[in-house]
Structure 1
């Protein structure tokens, strides 16, 4: 199940040295779908190219990484380590748990005269930031495409079988209730701004920059829980001043409209 490196048209880079990739999934179902193996492989190829490694081959296993016995039972891993030893190469893995889930794994490596420091883990971003980011982005891209495709296919199957998806009451009850709650919150916020403006001698001449500062001092945030800026304040400030005008408007006399 290994595959030789095929990178057509790759730009010339300074080569760090030879490398072998190692990828692993735990179960046959994972291995058959190829989702995780394919994504790991793409990440290792991208990382090797970005960092200047000469990736010779990527070897894989469909096996558990748990326990001491997993070391001997994984043929892909042993082949990768032996090839790396023979070629004075490193072994590249996406994550440490793809290599092993056994705490004394390094002792097993030393028994076959393999230096654990010659294992390169892509997720060590602090050591290999640029290459690691490129590799992880590639891995997430492949996984995201497969997950999205699988989800869409599953939803299509459900629809074809007459299954109604989603919450039927969303548009008739849930959404209207949400809109009402949002409207109440918006009204309360405008009232707070209006009350704050009324603390000054002339609420209609207070600069918006001053209002922004006061809102921040009082811990009042926008409807989206963001810090206030002049642009975010523009509409709420207009509404607050209209509210003040309505409050201060004189009431009509009791006889108004009787004739």
Structure 2
């Protein structure tokens, strides 16, 4: 059987999935049987409240193109991620999770419904809490815009520009690949293959990958 492994990590050291990239790869390797083959791997570097999953979509498309199964190391840690579950449920691609090998379209469909219900409950509780605060006389909404607040806003905008998702995600992959001993030239080639581009939409080269190494410089290109 041919498999297309999909891994998810975050900018945190262990990742939101609770497992780093190396640990997920180890789980996948233990899952494989004689004759199984891994095709191209896809790595999603998730940061903050990022909702879109471009690498998941790319992995699904690649699996369909090659008649392979999508392979996920840990499905249970992703079960509350609504966008992930809906993408997987609607993908019409055969998949298997190493930790829940019996999972199927029905299983993830139920997960999606439960995750969406949980989000709605949280939103409802938030609205109720705000209504209670307002009833108690608390002032809600934006504060008056003072020069200090305007300055803070400009600083936040500058910070966001320096930590653009294109750079943040690629930088985390640079860090992971450097730990595995890859050269910057090899890392740049992998980033380009995975579809990553610089903040200006350009292809990566060894120098641009080196600039993104958190151990060497700031996340600015």
TM-score bracket for the superposition, by shorter chain length: 0.3 to 0.5
Name which one, 1 or 2, has greater alpha-carbon Rg. 1
TM-score with structure 2 setting the length: 0.37
